[in-house]
Amino acid sequence: MRHAFSVRIGPVGFRIGSDWRAPIAELESLYRDYPKPRDGIPDFTVRLFARRPWRRFVRPSVEIGGDYMLPEAAPLPLRQGLLAAEMAMNLQMALGARRYLLLHASAVERDGRALLMTGISGAGKSTLATLLAAKGWRFMGDEFALLDPATGLIHAFPRLISLKNDAIAAAEAAWPQARMGPLMPATPKGDIRHMVPDSRAIAAMDTLATPALLLFPRYGFDAEARPVPPAEAFVRMTQASTNYVALGEAGFGALTGLIAGVPSVAIDYPDGASAIKQVEALWSAL
Protein backbone atom coordinates (compact mmCIF):
# COMPACT_ATOMS: atom_id res chain seq x y z
CA MET A 1 0.00 0.00 0.00
CA ARG A 2 1.07 3.62 -0.42
CA HIS A 3 1.80 4.26 3.24
CA ALA A 4 2.76 1.76 5.91
CA PHE A 5 3.68 1.57 9.56
CA SER A 6 4.78 -1.23 11.85
CA VAL A 7 4.61 -1.48 15.60
CA ARG A 8 4.79 -4.05 18.35
CA ILE A 9 2.35 -3.79 21.25
CA GLY A 10 3.21 -6.28 23.97
CA PRO A 11 3.83 -9.60 22.23
CA VAL A 12 1.85 -8.70 19.11
CA GLY A 13 3.31 -7.14 15.96
CA PHE A 14 1.18 -5.14 13.54
CA ARG A 15 1.70 -3.74 10.07
CA ILE A 16 -0.74 -1.06 9.05
CA GLY A 17 -1.01 -0.09 5.40
CA SER A 18 -3.06 2.87 4.23
CA ASP A 19 -4.15 4.63 1.07
CA TRP A 20 -3.69 7.92 2.93
CA ARG A 21 -0.75 9.49 4.69
CA ALA A 22 -2.66 11.11 7.55
CA PRO A 23 -3.60 8.07 9.66
CA ILE A 24 -0.09 6.64 9.27
CA ALA A 25 1.46 9.95 10.34
CA GLU A 26 -0.73 9.96 13.44
CA LEU A 27 0.21 6.37 14.27
CA GLU A 28 3.92 7.12 13.76
CA SER A 29 3.70 10.05 16.12
CA LEU A 30 1.64 8.40 18.85
CA TYR A 31 3.48 5.06 18.72
CA ARG A 32 6.95 6.62 18.30
CA ASP A 33 8.30 5.13 21.56
CA TYR A 34 7.09 1.59 20.81
CA PRO A 35 9.31 -1.19 19.44
CA LYS A 36 8.97 -2.73 15.98
CA PRO A 37 7.66 -6.29 15.44
CA ARG A 38 10.14 -8.98 16.42
CA ASP A 39 12.39 -9.94 13.50
CA GLY A 40 10.44 -7.40 11.47
CA ILE A 41 7.59 -9.86 11.01
CA PRO A 42 4.13 -8.69 12.05
CA ASP A 43 1.49 -11.06 13.43
CA PHE A 44 -1.35 -9.10 11.86
CA THR A 45 -1.79 -6.90 8.84
CA VAL A 46 -4.28 -4.07 8.77
CA ARG A 47 -5.38 -2.19 5.69
CA LEU A 48 -7.09 1.16 5.51
CA PHE A 49 -8.29 1.61 1.98
CA ALA A 50 -10.66 3.47 -0.28
CA ARG A 51 -13.37 1.26 -1.74
CA ARG A 52 -13.16 3.14 -5.06
CA PRO A 53 -10.01 4.89 -6.30
CA TRP A 54 -11.65 8.32 -6.42
CA ARG A 55 -12.74 7.97 -2.79
CA ARG A 56 -9.15 8.63 -1.83
CA PHE A 57 -9.90 12.24 -2.71
CA VAL A 58 -13.66 12.74 -2.92
CA ARG A 59 -15.25 12.61 0.54
CA PRO A 60 -12.52 10.15 1.53
CA SER A 61 -13.88 7.30 3.59
CA VAL A 62 -11.75 4.65 5.22
CA GLU A 63 -12.63 0.99 4.78
CA ILE A 64 -11.13 -1.40 7.30
CA GLY A 65 -9.47 -4.57 6.12
CA GLY A 66 -6.76 -7.03 6.91
CA ASP A 67 -6.28 -10.73 7.47
CA TYR A 68 -9.73 -10.80 9.03
CA MET A 69 -12.66 -8.78 7.72
CA LEU A 70 -16.10 -7.82 8.90
CA PRO A 71 -18.06 -7.41 5.67
CA GLU A 72 -20.65 -5.19 7.33
CA ALA A 73 -18.15 -2.79 8.91
CA ALA A 74 -19.12 0.73 7.90
CA PRO A 75 -16.38 2.99 6.53
CA LEU A 76 -15.28 5.97 8.60
CA PRO A 77 -14.51 9.49 7.39
CA LEU A 78 -10.81 10.15 6.89
CA ARG A 79 -10.65 12.53 9.86
CA GLN A 80 -11.41 9.45 11.98
CA GLY A 81 -8.62 7.49 10.29
CA LEU A 82 -6.80 6.90 13.57
CA LEU A 83 -9.95 5.40 15.04
CA ALA A 84 -10.29 3.21 11.95
CA ALA A 85 -6.72 2.01 12.41
CA GLU A 86 -7.25 1.19 16.08
CA MET A 87 -10.53 -0.57 15.37
CA ALA A 88 -8.90 -2.58 12.61
CA MET A 89 -6.02 -3.59 14.87
CA ASN A 90 -8.51 -4.68 17.54
CA LEU A 91 -10.47 -6.62 14.96
CA GLN A 92 -7.41 -8.58 13.82
CA MET A 93 -6.64 -9.41 17.43
CA ALA A 94 -10.21 -10.31 18.33
CA LEU A 95 -10.70 -12.63 15.37
CA GLY A 96 -7.21 -13.86 14.73
CA ALA A 97 -5.36 -14.30 17.99
CA ARG A 98 -4.72 -17.93 18.92
CA ARG A 99 -1.61 -17.74 21.05
CA TYR A 100 -3.39 -16.19 24.05
CA LEU A 101 -6.85 -16.21 25.53
CA LEU A 102 -8.05 -12.68 24.84
CA LEU A 103 -9.91 -11.15 27.74
CA HIS A 104 -11.83 -7.98 26.95
CA ALA A 105 -10.46 -6.30 30.03
CA SER A 106 -8.18 -3.55 31.14
CA ALA A 107 -5.24 -4.48 33.32
CA VAL A 108 -2.88 -2.81 35.76
CA GLU A 109 -0.04 -4.35 37.71
CA ARG A 110 1.57 -3.89 41.10
CA ASP A 111 4.30 -6.04 42.66
CA GLY A 112 4.13 -8.46 39.76
CA ARG A 113 0.42 -9.10 40.24
CA ALA A 114 -2.29 -8.05 37.82
CA LEU A 115 -5.69 -6.53 38.47
CA LEU A 116 -8.07 -7.31 35.61
CA MET A 117 -11.15 -5.15 35.02
CA THR A 118 -13.82 -6.24 32.62
CA GLY A 119 -17.26 -5.02 31.69
CA ILE A 120 -19.41 -3.64 28.96
CA SER A 121 -18.46 -0.51 27.06
CA GLY A 122 -18.93 2.43 29.44
CA ALA A 123 -18.28 0.41 32.60
CA GLY A 124 -15.07 2.35 33.05
CA LYS A 125 -12.37 -0.16 32.10
CA SER A 126 -10.14 2.38 30.37
CA THR A 127 -10.82 5.18 32.83
CA LEU A 128 -10.09 3.07 35.90
CA ALA A 129 -6.89 1.68 34.41
CA THR A 130 -5.77 5.22 33.55
CA LEU A 131 -6.60 6.59 37.00
CA LEU A 132 -4.93 3.68 38.78
CA ALA A 133 -1.82 4.11 36.63
CA ALA A 134 -1.70 7.76 37.77
CA LYS A 135 -1.62 6.41 41.34
CA GLY A 136 1.43 4.26 40.78
CA TRP A 137 0.07 1.10 39.21
CA ARG A 138 1.71 -0.09 36.00
CA PHE A 139 -0.68 0.24 33.06
CA MET A 140 -0.87 -3.04 31.08
CA GLY A 141 -3.73 -2.32 28.72
CA ASP A 142 -7.21 -0.86 28.42
CA GLU A 143 -8.78 -3.24 25.90
CA PHE A 144 -7.29 -6.73 25.95
CA ALA A 145 -5.52 -8.66 28.66
CA LEU A 146 -3.70 -11.61 27.11
CA LEU A 147 -3.87 -14.76 29.23
CA ASP A 148 -1.21 -17.29 28.33
CA PRO A 149 -2.73 -20.80 28.51
CA ALA A 150 0.71 -22.33 28.98
CA THR A 151 1.63 -20.33 32.07
CA GLY A 152 -1.51 -18.64 33.36
CA LEU A 153 0.35 -15.31 33.23
CA ILE A 154 -0.94 -12.04 31.80
CA HIS A 155 0.84 -10.35 28.90
CA ALA A 156 0.46 -6.61 28.63
CA PHE A 157 -1.12 -5.08 25.55
CA PRO A 158 -0.66 -1.35 26.17
CA ARG A 159 -2.05 0.05 22.94
CA LEU A 160 -3.14 3.68 22.78
CA ILE A 161 -5.79 4.26 25.42
CA SER A 162 -9.14 4.84 23.79
CA LEU A 163 -10.91 7.47 25.88
CA LYS A 164 -14.58 8.11 25.28
CA ASN A 165 -16.77 11.07 26.22
CA ASP A 166 -16.43 11.97 29.95
CA ALA A 167 -13.36 9.76 30.29
CA ILE A 168 -11.37 12.18 28.14
CA ALA A 169 -11.44 14.99 30.71
CA ALA A 170 -10.92 12.56 33.61
CA ALA A 171 -7.79 11.09 32.00
CA GLU A 172 -6.44 14.49 30.99
CA ALA A 173 -6.80 15.66 34.59
CA ALA A 174 -5.00 12.55 35.89
CA TRP A 175 -2.26 12.73 33.25
CA PRO A 176 -1.74 16.40 32.35
CA GLN A 177 1.57 15.62 30.64
CA ALA A 178 0.26 12.77 28.50
CA ARG A 179 0.54 12.92 24.75
CA MET A 180 -2.90 12.86 23.15
CA GLY A 181 -4.18 12.13 19.69
CA PRO A 182 -6.65 14.39 17.93
CA LEU A 183 -10.09 14.79 19.49
CA MET A 184 -12.54 12.98 17.23
CA PRO A 185 -16.03 14.25 18.03
CA ALA A 186 -19.22 12.39 17.19
CA THR A 187 -17.74 9.08 16.05
CA PRO A 188 -19.99 5.99 16.09
CA LYS A 189 -18.66 5.45 19.65
CA GLY A 190 -19.12 9.07 20.78
CA ASP A 191 -16.29 11.55 21.28
CA ILE A 192 -12.98 9.74 21.19
CA ARG A 193 -9.46 10.77 21.99
CA HIS A 194 -6.46 8.47 22.15
CA MET A 195 -3.89 8.83 24.89
CA VAL A 196 -0.36 7.46 24.80
CA PRO A 197 0.27 5.25 27.84
CA ASP A 198 2.95 6.52 30.17
CA SER A 199 6.60 5.72 29.44
CA ARG A 200 6.79 3.13 32.22
CA ALA A 201 3.91 1.16 30.66
CA ILE A 202 5.68 1.10 27.30
CA ALA A 203 9.11 0.28 28.74
CA ALA A 204 7.71 -2.62 30.80
CA MET A 205 5.35 -3.99 28.16
CA ASP A 206 7.24 -7.30 28.04
CA THR A 207 7.02 -7.83 31.79
CA LEU A 208 4.39 -10.45 32.61
CA ALA A 209 2.15 -10.47 35.66
CA THR A 210 0.36 -13.09 37.71
CA PRO A 211 -3.39 -12.45 37.79
CA ALA A 212 -4.51 -11.62 41.33
CA LEU A 213 -7.97 -10.07 41.17
CA LEU A 214 -10.79 -10.05 38.63
CA LEU A 215 -13.01 -7.01 38.88
CA PHE A 216 -16.39 -6.33 37.26
CA PRO A 217 -16.77 -2.55 37.65
CA ARG A 218 -19.97 -0.63 36.97
CA TYR A 219 -19.98 3.14 36.77
CA GLY A 220 -22.76 5.45 37.95
CA PHE A 221 -24.01 3.73 41.10
CA ASP A 222 -23.43 4.09 44.83
CA ALA A 223 -20.26 2.40 46.00
CA GLU A 224 -20.83 -1.28 46.61
CA ALA A 225 -18.95 -4.53 46.25
CA ARG A 226 -20.14 -8.10 46.03
CA PRO A 227 -18.27 -11.33 45.41
CA VAL A 228 -19.06 -12.91 42.06
CA PRO A 229 -19.58 -16.70 42.29
CA PRO A 230 -17.01 -18.63 40.24
CA ALA A 231 -19.58 -20.04 37.80
CA GLU A 232 -20.96 -16.57 37.08
CA ALA A 233 -17.46 -15.18 36.65
CA PHE A 234 -16.62 -18.05 34.32
CA VAL A 235 -19.67 -17.45 32.13
CA ARG A 236 -19.12 -13.70 32.03
CA MET A 237 -15.51 -14.20 31.03
CA THR A 238 -16.39 -16.65 28.25
CA GLN A 239 -18.57 -13.82 26.93
CA ALA A 240 -15.80 -11.28 27.52
CA SER A 241 -13.31 -13.33 25.54
CA THR A 242 -13.29 -12.96 21.77
CA ASN A 243 -11.47 -16.21 21.12
CA TYR A 244 -12.57 -18.55 23.91
CA VAL A 245 -14.35 -20.90 21.51
CA ALA A 246 -11.55 -20.79 18.95
CA LEU A 247 -8.97 -21.80 21.54
CA GLY A 248 -10.86 -24.98 22.48
CA GLU A 249 -9.21 -26.96 25.26
CA ALA A 250 -6.48 -24.39 25.79
CA GLY A 251 -9.10 -21.72 26.41
CA PHE A 252 -11.06 -23.94 28.79
CA GLY A 253 -7.95 -24.74 30.80
CA ALA A 254 -6.78 -21.14 30.88
CA LEU A 255 -10.11 -19.70 31.92
CA THR A 256 -11.04 -22.29 34.54
CA GLY A 257 -7.53 -21.88 35.93
CA LEU A 258 -7.95 -18.12 36.13
CA ILE A 259 -11.35 -18.35 37.81
CA ALA A 260 -10.14 -20.92 40.33
CA GLY A 261 -7.00 -18.92 41.05
CA VAL A 262 -8.26 -15.41 41.69
CA PRO A 263 -11.22 -13.86 43.53
CA SER A 264 -13.90 -12.21 41.38
CA VAL A 265 -15.62 -9.11 42.68
CA ALA A 266 -18.24 -6.81 41.18
CA ILE A 267 -18.02 -3.18 42.24
CA ASP A 268 -20.37 -0.28 41.65
CA TYR A 269 -18.77 3.14 41.86
CA PRO A 270 -20.06 6.71 41.61
CA ASP A 271 -16.79 8.35 40.52
CA GLY A 272 -13.11 7.69 39.92
CA ALA A 273 -11.90 8.70 43.37
CA SER A 274 -14.32 6.31 44.99
CA ALA A 275 -13.34 3.50 42.62
CA ILE A 276 -9.67 3.90 43.47
CA LYS A 277 -10.47 3.65 47.20
CA GLN A 278 -12.58 0.54 46.60
CA VAL A 279 -9.86 -1.08 44.51
CA GLU A 280 -7.16 -0.32 47.06
CA ALA A 281 -9.31 -1.77 49.85
CA LEU A 282 -9.96 -4.96 47.90
CA TRP A 283 -6.32 -5.22 46.92
CA SER A 284 -5.01 -4.86 50.46
CA ALA A 285 -7.46 -7.53 51.63
CA LEU A 286 -6.11 -10.12 49.18
Positions touching another protein (CB under 8 A) are 229-231, 234-235, 238, 245, 248-249, 252-253, 256, 259-260
Residue 237 CB, shortest distance to another protein, in Å, is 11
Choose between 35 and 253: whose C-beta lies nearer to another protein: 253
Closest approach, Cβ 234 to another protein, in A, equals: 6
The burial of 94, by beta-carbon neighbours within 10 Å (0-12 exposed, 13-18 middle, 19 or more buried), is given as middle
Shortest distance, position 201 Cβ to another protein, whole Å: 33
**Separation between Cα atoms, residue 14 and residue 32, nearest integer Å:** 14
Closest to another protein by CB, 260 or 285: 260
Answer yes or no: are the C-beta atoms of 286 and 280 closer than 8 Å.
no
**Integer Cα distance of 188 and 185 in angstroms:** 9
Question: CB-wise, 24 or 255, nearer to another protein?
Answer: 255
45 in Cβ contact with 97 (< 8 Å):
no
* One-letter identity of residue 189: K
Residue 121 or 238: the one with the smaller Cβ distance to another protein is 238
Nearer to another protein, 37 or 263 (CB): 263
CA 143 to chain centre: 2
Q: Kindly state the smallest distance separating residue 104's Cβ from another protein, in Å.
A: 18
Helical H segments across 150-248, by residue range: 166-174, 199-203, 230-240, 244-247
Distances (CA, A) of 240 to 101, 102, 116, 268, 269: 10, 8, 12, 18, 21
Minimum distance of another protein from residue 253's CB (angstroms)? 7
Please identify, using beta-carbon distances, which residue of 90 and 264 lies nearer to another protein. 264
Q: Least distance (Å) from another protein to the CB of residue 117?
A: 21
Alpha-carbon distance of 100 to 145, in angstroms, equals 9
